[in-house]
Copies of this chain bind each other. A is one copy, B any other.
Amino acid sequence: MDLLKIKDYASSIDAQLVLIDQSRSGNDPNKKTVLVYGHLDVQPAAKEGPVIAWIHAISVLQKKKVPIPVNLKFVFECMEESGSQGLEPALQHHKDSFLTNVDMTCISDNYWLGKNKPCLTYGLRGLCYYFVEISCAKQDLHSGTYGGSVPEAMNDMVWILSQLIEKDGTIKIPHIYGTVAPLTEEEKKTYEDIDFCLETYQNDIAAHGLLKPTKAEILMNRWRFPSLSIHGIEGAFSGSGAKTVIPSKVIGKFSIRLVPNMTPEVVDKLVLDYLNDLWAKRGSPNHFHPFAGHSGMPWLADYKDENFRAGARAMKRVFGVDPDYTREGGSIPITLAFQVIAIRNMYIDFFCRKHFVVSFFQELTGRSVMLLPIGACDDMAHSQNEKLDRSNYIKGTKTLAAYLLELAG
């Protein structure tokens, strides 16, 4: 670490942050300034990772006496695995000092789409979460005594939830597809060339079927079209075995993944209007209260900008192939990670976290943010036997060094 000088790591607001200016090159106004984000906390302990790869990349360039052609700034966070608590105020604090003059940001914290071909990630879907509350009485009722007497909340609930999606996954909310950016023939073609095996994808999760038959359609459904998932019902009987309760108050939960050009404001209105229309059509005497929960905008970068072009040239240098340009449907491509979190009863949406970091850097710097993953899709993030293949690590380190060189190219 002697090659780097820790510039600012003191005030209480920075307790979880390490902000580093590359010391040797200083802040040369004739060079571009690249911001690198990474996080130092792990879950569970991983000895190597993209942050160390950055350090190695710089170390190698220095040993080989290759001048680093850009100004480098690092933001290393220590609370990423705890929801990036404190990151926003800490970075806001440095908005006009450390974060000024940043030309581009690189975040190496996601994964390749597959196991063989490198990729650059330029998009994440957004999210709108919804709650539908229906109540029929002040307390749970016994189905023997009240079955046949009372319009049951669960009966209304399953009907409402059954009106959200077609069998093929099409969202039934009127006008929702009108908010989605039109698909051009040019964009459509990009999905056909991506290295992605539909069969492996399906087999990995032992899914009994997929909603679309072709690779391009599935990638588009994951990345550039919205999807609606019904997550569950709070307040109904959810244990094992049999219980003859009539639940008095149930809360249905579903969410929609947003893509450009959808915004939570517009989607909220479409969804809540539709739910209220359905309820009017239902004509139930029960109490009905639909409401929107948290939301996040989709993120989409221009993968033809100089940041991405440099990343692509670096990958071509190291791997000998042009990278694929990928998006992510949410945040974490490894579902196991999600499950670990679920087990810990931390119902945090990974999406929100990574999405937050990406959008936040883009907003604070006003410049391009690129996701440059070096790990493969089977690294089992946060799960048992988490790993980073040696070849990925070495080539990844080379890629990061090459990226810095290419940025000046």
A144/B328 in contact, CB under 8 A = yes
B332 in contact with A148 (CB, 8 Å): no
Contact in complex: A144, B350 (CB < 8 Å)? yes
* The residue from B238, B347, B350 contacting A234, defined by CB atoms under 8 A apart: B238
**Given A210-B149, A221-B149, A227-B148, A257:B143 Cβ within 8 A:** yes
**Count of this chain's copies in the oligomeric assembly:** 2
Contact of A233 with B231 in the complex, beta carbons under 8 Å = no
Say whether, besides A144-B330, A146-B205, A287-B208, A242 and B230 are in contact (CB < 8 Å).
no
Which residue in B226, B238, B294 is a CB contact (below 8 Å) of A238?
A: B238
Stretch in contact with the other chain, from A96-104, A158-166, A315-323: A158-166
Q: Report the Cα distance A80→B3, complex, angstroms.
A: 78
* B329, A205: Cβ atoms closer than 8 Å: no
Task: State whether the Cβ of A30 lies closer than 8 Å to any Cβ in chain B.
Answer: no
Whether the Cβ atoms of B294 and A144 lie closer than 8 Å is: no
Q: A211-B149, A227-B148, A285-B209 are in contact. Are A349 and B233 (CB under 8 A)?
A: no
- Chain A residues 295-352 with CB under 8 Å of chain B are 328-333, 335-336, 338-339, 342, 345, 347, 349-351
- Please name the residue on chain B nearest to A134 by beta carbon: B208
Closest 9 CB pairs of A and B: A144-B330, A209-B285, A232-B237, A232-B236, A148-B227, A148-B221, A147-B227, A238-B238, A138-B206
17 A-B pairs, CB-CB below 8 angstroms? A135-B208, A139-B205, A144-B329, A144-B330, A145-B329, A145-B333, A147-B222, A148-B218, A148-B226, A148-B257, A149-B201, A158-B161, A158-B230, A162-B162, A230-B236, A234-B238, A238-B238
